[in-house]
Amino acid sequence: MALRLGLPLRDMEMVQFHPTGLLGGKDTRMTGTVLEEGLRGAGGHLLDGNGRRFMFDYDEHGERATRDIVSRGIYAQMRSGHTTPNGGVYISMGHLGADNVRNKFRGMVKRCADCGFDLAGGRVEVVPTAHYFMGGLVCDPDTTTELPGLFVAGEDASGMHGANRLGGNGVANSTVFGGVAGDVMSSYAASAGPHQDPDETIIEAEISRALHPFSKKPGNVNSLREDLMDIMWDNVGVMRTAEGIKRGIGQIRQLKAELLETGVGEFDTIFNVTWNDWLNLRSLAETSEMIAQAALSR
């Protein structure tokens, strides 16, 4: 929304990856679900497909290094070909005692069990997963932006965490600046005067933009979404190069053009999940291109 309005954005390339997202294969939507850092903090081991503990190859703190280091270590191991059946690495907790793990990490044990993994006594496949966005709108400490009446907090705002958020600070950020935004918004509402009449031209343009896919021949929106995920992972993911980013930008632009020629079927605006997915994908593609452009500039 802010991008379409032309508001200034900052640090859009700063995407934090959590090192241990559950890797359940393509048959489950649980893939990417975060397995908490407490597992590594308690002494969990990361093993490659050959069962070798590898993180000390990348940092003296091993699995207890910061998220960015562990994510890069896992990604490098994956690129070397020493992967698990689904293409990731393992997290192993069994050496800590199965009963101990079940007692301390009940939620994580259940989450893994739902996908057929035994976290307490076996090995669970994991992969780095996009987790937190350090970039966003430029705003003042009181959450105000260049657009009067628009306030921003949490992951939509930039500048609170630098280039790498530390664990636990996401909740603190949302709590603190959410509270600030609430106070400032109430003061603004009390002093802003009567509401202005909406700009009918803008409303009509937004309606036209939203209804665009109904004018096109139906296509596979989900396939395009998966293509975008692959483009970003391969070119603008954990490890980036100028060549890869440029390639990714070209592929994103091609996907955007394909999306504009992809429809969603009969005109139906009530509980139309495909239409919702189409609108979300257009925003995802626009944001992805901005992330890639910022990364290339950086």
Place of tokens 């530390």: 166
Give the global pTM. 0.88
pLDDT, average across residues 101-116: 93
- Where residue 208 falls among pLDDT bands split at 50, 70, 90? very high
- CATH code, residues 200-297: 1.20.58.100
Where do the H-state alpha helices sit in the chain? 2-5, 38-41, 67-79, 98-104, 106-113, 169-191, 200-211, 221-235, 242-260, 273-297
pLDDT, average across residues 94-106: 96
How far is residue 213's CA from residue 205's CA, in Å, rounded to a whole number? 14
Give the start-to-end residue ranges of the domains of the chain. 15-132, 134-191, 200-297
pLDDT at 106: 95
pLDDT at 118: 95
pLDDT at 27: 73
- CATH code, residues 15-132: 3.90.700.10
Per cent of the chain over pLDDT 70 is: 100
pLDDT at 196: 84
Q: At what angle do helices 273-297 and 242-260 cross, to 10 degrees?
A: 150
Could you confirm whether 209 is annotated as catalytic?
no
Across all residues in the chain, what is the average pLDDT? 94
pLDDT digits (tens, 9 = 90+) for 115-146: 889 999 999 999 999 999 999 999 999 999 99
The token pair at 82 is 């020493």
Give the contacts of 213 (CB within 8 A, at least 6 positions apart): 262, 263, 264, 275, 278
**Per DSSP, what are the bridge partners of residue 47?**
53, 90
Which residue among 10, 29, 67, 240 is the active-site one? Answer: 67
pLDDT digits (tens, 9 = 90+) for 17-29: 999 999 987 777 7
User: Are 15-132 and 200-297 in the same CATH fold?
Assistant: no
The token pair at 218 is 């139906």
Report phi then psi at 128, rounded to 5: -60, 140
pLDDT, average across residues 36-60: 96
pLDDT, average across residues 235-257: 97
CB atoms within 10 A of CB 137: 24
**Per DSSP, what are the bridge partners of residue 46?**
91
pLDDT at 283: 97
pLDDT at 18: 93
In this predicted structure, the answer to whether residue 289 has a pLDDT above a threshold of 80 is yes
The token pair at 204 is 């009509």
pLDDT digits (tens, 9 = 90+) for 145-187: 999 999 999 999 998 888 888 878 889 999 999 999 999 999 9
pLDDT at 195: 83
pLDDT at 265: 86
